[in-house]
Each structure stands twice: as structure tokens, then as C-alpha cells.
A and B are shown apart, each in its own frame.
Chain A
Amino acid sequence: MQAAVIVFPGSNCDRDVAVCLEAATGQAPLMAWHGDANLPKCDLIVLPGGFSYGDYLRCGSMAANSPIMREVVAQAHKGAAVLGICNGFQVLTECGLLPGVLMQNKGLNFVCRNTQLTVTNNTTAFTSLYGAGEEITIPVAHNEGNYFADDHTLKQLQDEDRIALSYAKGDNPNGACLDIAGISDASGRIVGMMPHPERRAEAALGGDDGKRMFSGIVEALS
């Protein structure tokens, strides 16, 4: 399978996620440059965490308008799996592949810590190796992770079972609506999430709950 990591200026989790993809797929992913207008056909595209274009405008909005994103959106519409982590989730909402917006954390501060998550939907392309309702630990690190959408959209996400990951009760780090940590599109092939699975994908880092996110997508695509 062909996997790609999109590198925006200011991306800073590109290497970390590439390490996990290589471990899961056995080969190094393509590192795709934001300014390129062409992207070889990919089975999996990851938008990594970081501060694309400095996040000096609304987080992810500049990246959403970069040349490479036209390709990402086109391939997503043709069925490529897309994972947006943290800043990548923000880019996915900005480019319209996922609904809603990530607002500033309710506590007004950047927050980096482990969070307890519930796998709300284990039928997406990325969460299939988790049990339904399984509790997992994955860290967050963001200043704008407070997921917000209008009531209609939230209801739709619930009705269509598109909330992939939720913060466990009492462990919502940012004030997100419905404790949402990650959502998917209707097909379950496009997932955006604030927590960083690549930071908890080996026992030496304190746990490997994040690892199944990568092995899960590889299994789903092969």
C-alpha cells in the first residue's frame, strides 16, 4: 500500500507519524510537500500535527488552501483513507472533508497530557482493531482542540455513528461538544482526531494504545 504524510511548513509531527507508518506498513511513507500540486495515487494520506503556516491565521486554514490539499481532497473523494491528527484534524475541518471546527481550549491554555478515550465507533477504517467502547489512553497536545458544531451537525454525527473517539467522562481536556475527540466522514475512511496516536505506539513511551490505529488501517486497506 502507498501511504503519504503531507508536510506543511510548520508541521512538526510528520516524522513521528512516519515512524509509526513505517512500523505498520514495513516501508517509509512518501513525504509530500505542501507546495506540490501533484500527489501520486495513495491508499492512505496522513495530515500530521504541528503549526502549519504558523497557525497565524485560524488553525489549519492556510494549509487547507495549499496546492497539495486540492490533490488530497480529490483523492479522498475517490476513496483514499485520510487521517488528520491534531493540526491535521483542523485542516480537515477547514477544507470541508469533515464538519465542525476546533475552537480554543475552554481553559484558554495549551494542554499536553494523556487522556482517557472511549472508542465510540470501532467500525471506521482506523478504529477496527479496538473493541466497541474500549477505553484507551492517548495524549493530546493542543491549544485549539475544542470541537464545536451546530446542534444539527452534532445530531447527525451521533445518528450516523460518526463520533469515532470520545474523551472519557470527566477527562475532556478542552471543552469539546459531546466530549468529541475524533470524528469520521460517513464512509468511515476519513478520520480527524485531536489526540496523537503516534505518541503512544510503543511500550517504551508508556503504552501502545495508539499503535492499533496504524495497524488497523493497514489491515483495513490490505
Chain B
Amino acid sequence: MSHINDTPITDELVAEHGLTPDEFQMVCDHMGRVPNYTELGVFSVMWSEHCSYKSSRKWLKKLPVSGDQVIQGPGENAGVIDIGDGDAAVFKMESHNHPSFIEPYQGAATGVGGIMRDVFTMGARPVANLNALRFGAPDHPKTRHLVAGVVSGIGGYGNCMGVPTVGGEINFDPSYNGNNLVNAMCVGVARTDKIFYAAATGIGSPVVYVGSKTGRDGIHGATMASAEFDDASEEKRPTVQVGDPFTEKLLLEACQELMASDAIIGIQDMGAAGLTSSSVEMADKGGVGIVLNLDKVPVRETHMTGYEMLLSESQERMLMVLKPGREPEAKAIFDRWGLDFAVIGELTDTNRMVVHHDGREIADMPLGPLADGAPEYDRPHVPTPKAADFDAAWLDKAPDTLSALKTLMGSSEVASRRWVYEQYDSMVMGDTLAGPGGDAALVRVHGTQKGLAMSTDVNPRYCFADPVEGGKQAVAEAYRNICAVGAKPLAITNCLNFGNPERPEIMGQFVGCLEGMGEAGKTLDFPVVSGNVSLYNETNGTGILPTPAIGGVGLIQNLDKAVGNGFLQDGQLIYLLGDTAGHLGASLYQRDVLDRHEIVAPPRVDLALEAAHGGLVRDAIDQGLLAAAHDISDGGLLMALAEMCLAHGIGADIETDGDTGYWFGEDQARYVVAVAGDKAEAFEALAKDLSLTRLGKTSGHTLTFGASLSISVRELHDIYEGWFPALMSS
């Protein structure tokens, strides 16, 4: 039988591996010869868009990534920030879009598993999971199937791991009909002096494989994630990995146990491109070489080729470099947890990756070009044309304010997500002080009084109409959500989901969004410490709305001071912080009440004002002046008020009145807050000259507003809670 490496390298084979002729020529130049089949496979995954960021790198470099709070910015498995007292928060968000569309349960589950590994690889214990999900139109025939599978998969993995899923967002838009988005975020806590990195050092140090056995699942997953979809994509099901959360739970505990010693030099999870990318990245970061003997790799299928072992994306696996001689104590730990442990290679001084299998050298490649040699593309991009202004004439046929409120309350964007989040264990670990349904989730740092506030946000409608403002707004909204609970926003992770970057208008969206995000991150001192780019989110040439999801993390020093977003008792004063110009363009009102789908300019974001208003809310909460706080986003002021009523069933009597824009406009940098009567004076004094309007008082069980309009909180509740269950049972 001939060896797989005897396969001739043809143009067709190169194309099947997703390399362009120019890229293939570069590979040949780096190699000094034509690569063999195995080497071609390794290059193809390392140079895939998913692993190499070749279309996005140029622009990612422009994001703000530093600050006093940053311990580790982008480039490691996850970002690390300082949260005081020797504690660090470790977090990242990552996409699993393509696999989740093909096989929603396993695709979503392994997305959650992968992001948790990224976090615990760094020495952190995961303490919270969040997600950002986007599906097609609610009435699209595939939507319910995908929602049910993805939600079940996220729960299935996170629940078993015993890590609470505390927040997230889920939205619907026809642009995701053929390409849903599943972005999973994990936040962990570590000690600042026990952070583990990927870099492998020490010639002769053993390279150790731990975790699950390797199978044929997920081969070329990274390459799949770097291509557009078409009608035949569901045939790619074999490239979707299968998750085993039980094994990952054991892997987490075993790694934590070993990390308590000083036996580990470097550690990296096997995620996209599996053994290949983990070994290449570790050796390259350490400036060494690596030799692997695949005969030692634990496998669960027979007759696997070296090519398959190198490219498999089997889950729940880690690669470690240990201090020489420490193998026995490490093995004892993994044995106790019932996990595979195998020394599969060692570090060399060659700066090359050499792979042996079945008595034969099957690959010998230079590490530098594999890790960093992928071309950096400056893809052509055209700015998104300026969107039109909102046409006031559309309001001529607008329904009355009360009907509009009801429509929005039961819209796909606003309605309660209870059906989703009750399938997630949000309370395990006993430190969830505020779970799903609030502005930001709050999780206590175990054994302390301080807490991490977390939120995922982006408004793709805004990003589509104006990428720069939309990019700013996504960061600003995460900032607001964190401020609204009383926490100081510290840093963000992102998951940049876009269409095909080879189309200049898509690349223009990408460039614009990053410009806006960068500006917001700089102004708000809210740097990016980790992230992921997912391009080619297209099916049959139709791209998704640009969706740069932001995952924000903040810190509150004393959790006793945190507030929620619901009215707590009668007779408290309600204030609006921020000015209302009544901006209806790109609003939920435009889409769901007026049913107008023209591309209209979104509200502008004033970052200085965001910082000032966020600061006031935080200070007021810190001084104990606020009873509740809620940021104003989709659906505007009236929606925010209604949501505050719903939280605890307390109504409000609003004395101010205004036009449609007043109630439903989505002007930025605004919050609604509730203040006890005896704190009002102090709060108004603290606000100084910031725009503060007294709206009315909390009262009874009815929301009364405008010229004698009213609706019972019970009716709001029924509309709000009814939509999701009705969708899923229809």
C-alpha cells in the first residue's frame, strides 16, 4: 500500500486545501521544495483565515490593547486583566458559527468547550460563561431547529462542566437564515502569579499529550470555517467535532491539580487545527523546535494516518511541555482522573517541526513560516455609503404609542429570553449574584466581596447602516451595561463576525467597525485583550449583517453596593440621565413597528458623554444613591421603563410626555435610574450639570405615561414572556 505522502501534489489538491496558487508558491519557497501531502495539510490549516487572521491582522493591530489593568493582551489563549489583591480575570470569546449551523447541538457544545479550555489553559478556573447568538428570521423553517439545538448544546456542555452560564444575547434577522452565529465567551479567575502561557522552552523538555483520545472528527474544521457556505454545506457534518463535557470536567480538575505544582513550562489547548496548531504555536513562541512521534498519540480509531492525527480537531485535549523529569508526578494526576497521558515528543533547537509516524519521517517544516508566515492581506475595501436619514413621513401611518409598546414588548429583539436561559445552569458555583435577564451579569470572586460584571453586546443593524458608529456603539453599550450594575468597565474581548472579506464592501464594513471599536476602546479606557475573527459568514453569496460582538468585563469592589435593573418599591423617583433627541433611524421601532427595512443612519455615539454618564452612574451606586439602574437601548426610553417595571412587578407613574421619538428613539449614553426620595437631593447634586430629567415615580402595578396612557404590568409581563415559548412550540 502506498503512503499518503506519495500522493502527487497537484493544483487541484492545493485548491482543495484552500491555498491560492500564490500562497502555495510561498509555501514552496519557505520549504525549499514542494511540500508532501502531510506538510500541505499542515500549512493549509495554519494559513487558513481562521488560524492566521490573514485578512484581518492589518486592522486588528489598530485596536487599543494596553492599559494599567492589562496583564496579557491578544495573542495568547485568552486575555488577562488585573482585578486587584493578586487576582486576575482571564477571558475570551470565540465563534463556532459554521459547525453550529451544520450540527447545532455539537457545534455549540464544542464551542463552549473550546472557549473554556482556552481559559483554563491559562491557569484560571472558569467562573462564568456567556454567549452571543444570532439566528435567521423567526419564521424561517430552520430557525427553531437551530435555536433548540444550539441552546441545548450550550447548556449540555456548560451545565455538565459546572460553570454557570450567566448572560448573553440572542437575536434574529433574515441575514442569518443560512449562517447562524454562535459566539461563546468564558471568564475565569486566576492568581496573577500563577498564569500559564503557551511558550515552550528548554531543549529536550518532554512534549506531553493529555485528555481525550484522537479520532477523525473535525479534520479540516478550521479550513471549513474559512470558506463560504453553499447548499451542500450540510454534507460537511463529519468536520464537526463531538463534545464530551465529562472528560473536559476531568481535564479541568486534573490541569488545576498539576498547575498547583511548578512542573509545567508551557501549556496550550488543542483547538482549531488540533495538534498541529498547538505544537506549532508552543514551539514558535518559545523560539525552539519540536519533534513529534505520532505513534505515541492516544487514538480511538484504527489506521489513522499522520495527516489525520495532525489535523484532527477531537475535543478535550491539551498539549503541555513539562520540566524534564516531572513526567511521573504529572502522569499520576492524569491517571487518577482517568485521562490519557502520553509523552509524544520533545523540544529541539532546530526551529523546525519534525513529525515521525510508523517508522517514517512524514513532515519536516520550518516553524516561523508556519506560525507567522501566512501572507498579510490588505484586501480592497470600500467605505459603507452614508445611510439616508429617517423619513418622518413614515410616521404618518404609525400606530398609537400603546400599540407600539405592545408590539415591541413582544418583538423578537426584546421579548423575554427565559425559554433560553432556564436551560442553562446559571447558579452552580454559588457565586452568581445576578444571572441572566439583567443589564450585566454579576459573579462574585469566590471567597471575596468583589465581583466581575459581564455583558455581551452588539447591534448589527447599526453596524450595517454605519459600521463606524455601530462599532462604537457596541463597545459603548457593553460599557453602559457594566456601569449600570455599579462596576467599573475594565476590558473587552470580541468576536468579529463578517461576510466574505474578498468583497470590498464587506471588508469596508470590517474596517469601519474596527475603527469605531478602536476609538471607543481608547476613549473609554476599555482595551481589547483577546478575541476572534470569523469571516466568510455567507451562504450562496449573501453575507450576514456585520456583527462584531463585544464581551465586556468590569469589576465592582463591594458587591453589597451593586444594583439591579428593576424597580424595587413604590414611591421612588425615576430619572432619565442623558438627552433625548428622538433618533428613530435604524431603531427597533423602525424595523418592528413601522416595518420599514430601509438602511437608515443609526444614532451617533458621543464617547465623552458615555464616559461622563457611566462615571456618574458608578459613583452614585458606590455612594448608595441608586435603587436601580438600566441602560436604554433597543426600543428606547419606554422599553427601558417597561423592563424596569417587569423585573419585580412594580409599576411607574411617568409625568413627562413626548412624541414617538421621545418614547422609542434610541439616542445613546442614556440610563434610567430609580432613587429613593431621601437620596434625590444628593443624587441631583452629584450629577452637577449632566442632563438629568425627573420622569416620575414608581407606583402600583401599572405603567402610566404620556397623556393618560397606561398598561398593567401583568399585561406587559404576558406579552413579554409569551413570545419565545410561542415561537418554540409553533
Chain A positions near chain B (C-beta within 8 angstroms): 9-10, 12-13, 15-16, 19, 35, 49-51, 53-56, 109-113, 139, 141, 143, 196, 198-199, 201, 204-205
Contacts and interface: CB of A to CB of B under 8 A. Distances in A.
Interface of B: 152, 155-156, 159-162, 244-247, 249-250, 336-338, 421-430, 432-433, 444, 559-560
A105 B165 CA distance: 20
Given A10-B160, A109-B152, A16 B430 contact: yes
A204 B444 CA distance: 10
A10 B160 CA distance: 7
Contact of B428 (A12, A35, A55, A109): A12
A109 B423 contact: yes
B159 A110 contact: yes
Given A9-B250, A12-B428, A15-B430, 20 more contacts: A12-B161, A12-B162, A16-B429, A51-B245, A51-B246, A51-B249, A54-B244, A109-B152, A110-B155, A110-B156, A110-B423, A111-B422, A111-B423, A112-B423, A112-B425, A141-B428, A143-B159, A199-B427, A204-B433, A205-B432
The 5 A-B pairs at the shortest CB distance, nearest first, are namely A12-B162, A54-B246, A16-B430, A51-B160, A141-B425
A58 to B, nearest CB: 15
A50 B162 contact: yes
Contacts of A13: 162, 428
Contacts of B152: 109-110
Contacts of A19: 430
A53 B423 CA distance: 21
A19 B446 CA distance: 10
Contacts of B245: 51, 54
A35 B336 CA distance: 9
Contacts of A10: 160, 246, 249-250
A196 B429 CA distance: 11
Nearest to A198: B430
A199 B427 CA distance: 7
Nearest to B434: A206
Nearest to B162: A12
Nearest to B161: A12
A110 B336 CA distance: 30
A12 B432 CA distance: 15
A51 B559 CA distance: 30
24 contacts: A9-B249, A9-B250, A10-B250, A12-B249, A15-B430, A49-B428, A51-B245, A51-B249, A54-B244, A55-B160, A109-B422, A110-B423, A110-B424, A111-B422, A112-B159, A112-B421, A112-B423, A141-B425, A141-B428, A199-B427, A199-B430, A204-B444, A205-B432, A205-B433
B729 to A, nearest CB: 11
Contacts of A16: 428-430
B681 to A, nearest CB: 29
Contacts of A196: 427
Contacts, number: 80
B455 to A, nearest CB: 20
B159 A15 contact: no
B162 A53 contact: no
Given A10-B160, A110-B159, A204-B433, A56 B423 contact: no
A16 B430 CA distance: 6
Contacts of B426: 112
Contacts of B433: 204-205
B430 A112 contact: no
A112 B559 CA distance: 23
A205 B562 CA distance: 12
B557 to A, nearest CB: 15
Contacts of B429: 15-16
A171 to B, nearest CB: 13
Given A19-B430, A51-B249, A109-B152, A9 B338 contact: yes
Contact of B422 (A55, A113, A199): A113
Contacts of A201: 430
Contact of B337 (A9, A55, A204): A9
B427 A112 contact: yes
Nearest to B426: A112
A41 to B, nearest CB: 25
A15 B156 CA distance: 21
A16 B249 CA distance: 16
A112 B336 CA distance: 31
Nearest to B418: A113
A112 B159 CA distance: 10
A54 B429 CA distance: 18
Nearest to A11: B162
Contacts of A35: 336
Residue in B159, B244, B337, B426 with the greatest tally of chain A CB atoms within 10 Å: B159
Contact of B246 (A53, A109, A198): A53
A51 B252 CA distance: 15
A49 B425 CA distance: 12
Residue in B336, B425, B426 with the greatest tally of chain A CB atoms within 10 Å: B425
A205 B160 CA distance: 21
B246 A56 contact: yes
Contacts of B428: 12-13, 16, 49, 141, 199
A54 B156 CA distance: 11
Nearest to B247: A54
Contacts of B444: 204
Nearest to B560: A204
B424 A112 contact: yes
B212 to A, nearest CB: 12
A183 B268 CA distance: 46
Contacts of A113: 422
B423 A141 contact: no
A36 to B, nearest CB: 11
B102 to A, nearest CB: 22
A10 B161 CA distance: 8
Contacts of B421: 112
A67 to B, nearest CB: 14
Contact of A204 (B161, B162, B247, B559): B559
A13 B431 CA distance: 12
Contacts of B430: 15-16, 19, 198-199, 201, 205
Contacts of A109: 152, 422-423
Contacts of B425: 110, 112, 141
Contacts of B560: 204
Nearest to B252: A12
A12 B422 CA distance: 18
Contacts of B559: 204
Nearest to B151: A109
A9 B432 contact: no
A160 B244 CA distance: 42
Contacts of B423: 109-112
A10 B250 CA distance: 7
Contacts of B159: 51, 110, 112, 141, 143
Contacts of A53: 246
